[in-house]
């Protein structure tokens, strides 16, 4: 039986294995792997969603479904084009480290949902961070990304890539609330 404190790690492990298979099979594979690892029930857990399960064609609505916010919240942060998206509504966090994590998490989530790419390259993220003036080459890989439980690092075709963890997705919901709070406050 899985100890409660280890459950998230087992889920991430299962998702990593399932990514090597057809998207339609991923939820079933994840569930099976977790059950094999000793979980008695997945009742009430949010299962991975294949892109075809997200009903909207509107990128703002798709991203809103994934992030657990409204499409208007997403539109206040992103502009969508035929070739993808642009993050424009970001307000810096209290620290540079928090800003780096938040920007990278927002980009990775949008890249996954809008462009269908589960991983974003370090080069893409560095370009974004430079645009916002928070890139620190001495701390990017080791401190900002490496010591954060928001990201999983990997190498794909010789390039360093990052994807969001379960904790990163949950934390991103708080980031969205922080960034969109001023929009809903009486002015």
Report pLDDT digits (tens) over 131-152: 999 998 888 877 678 778 899 8
Q: Inform me whether the pLDDT recorded for 125 exceeds 90.
A: yes
Confidence of residue 27 (pLDDT cuts 50, 70, 90): low
Question: CA angle, 21 as apex, 3 and 104 as ends, to 5°?
Answer: 70
| pTM of structure | 0.69
Q: What is the pLDDT of residue 57?
A: 80
SS (H, E, C) 65-101: HHHCCCHHHHHCCEEEECCEEEECCCCCCCCHHHHHH
> What's the confidence (pLDDT) of residue 67?
86
Instruction: State the CATH class of domain 55-184.
Output: mainly alpha
Q: Measuring CA to CA, which residue among 142, 154, 90, 149 is closest to residue 118?
A: 154
- Nearest by Cα to 92 from 60, 148, 135, 126: 135
Q: What does 95-152 look like in DSSP terms, one character per residue?
A: SHHHHHHHHHHHHHHHHHHHH--S-EEHHHHHHHHHHTT---TTTIIIIIITT-TTEE
For the segment 35-92, what is each residue's pLDDT rounded down to a tens digit?
A: 665 544 444 444 444 444 445 688 999 989 888 899 999 999 999 988 889 998 899 9
Whether 31 shows a pLDDT value over 90: the answer reads no
Give the model's confidence band at 118: pLDDT under 50 very low, under 70 low, under 90 confident, else very high: confident
User: What are the tens digits of pLDDT across the range 166-182?
Assistant: 889 889 999 999 998 86
* Residue 101: band (very low, low, confident or very high) from pLDDT cuts 50, 70, 90: very high
Answer with the residue of higher pLDDT: 91 or 27.
91
Residue limits of CATH 1.10.10 in the chain: 55-184
């Amino acid at each position: 039986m899985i100890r409660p404190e280890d459950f998230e790690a087992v889920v991430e492990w299962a998702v990593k294995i399932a990514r090597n298979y057809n998207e339609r099979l991923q939820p079933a594979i994840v569930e099976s792997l977790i059950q094999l690892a000793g979980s008695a029930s997945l009742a009430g857990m949010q299962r991975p969603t294949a892109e075809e399960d997200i009903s909207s064609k509107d990128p703002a609505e798709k991203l809103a479904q994934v992030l657990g916010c409204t499409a208007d919240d997403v539109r206040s942060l992103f502009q969508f084009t035929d070739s993808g998206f642009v993050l424009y509504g970001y307000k810096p966090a209290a620290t540079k480290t928090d800003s780096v994590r938040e920007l990278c998490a927002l980009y990775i989530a949008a890249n996954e949902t809008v462009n269908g790419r589960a991983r974003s390259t370090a080069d893409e993220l560095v370009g974004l961070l430079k645009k916002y003036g928070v890139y620190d080459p001495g701390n990017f890989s080791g401190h900002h990304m490496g010591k954060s439980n928001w990201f999983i690092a990997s190498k794909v075709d010789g390039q360093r890539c990052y994807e969001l963890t379960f904790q990163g997705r949950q934390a991103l919901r708080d980031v969205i609330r922080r960034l969109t709070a001023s929009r809903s406050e009486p002015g």
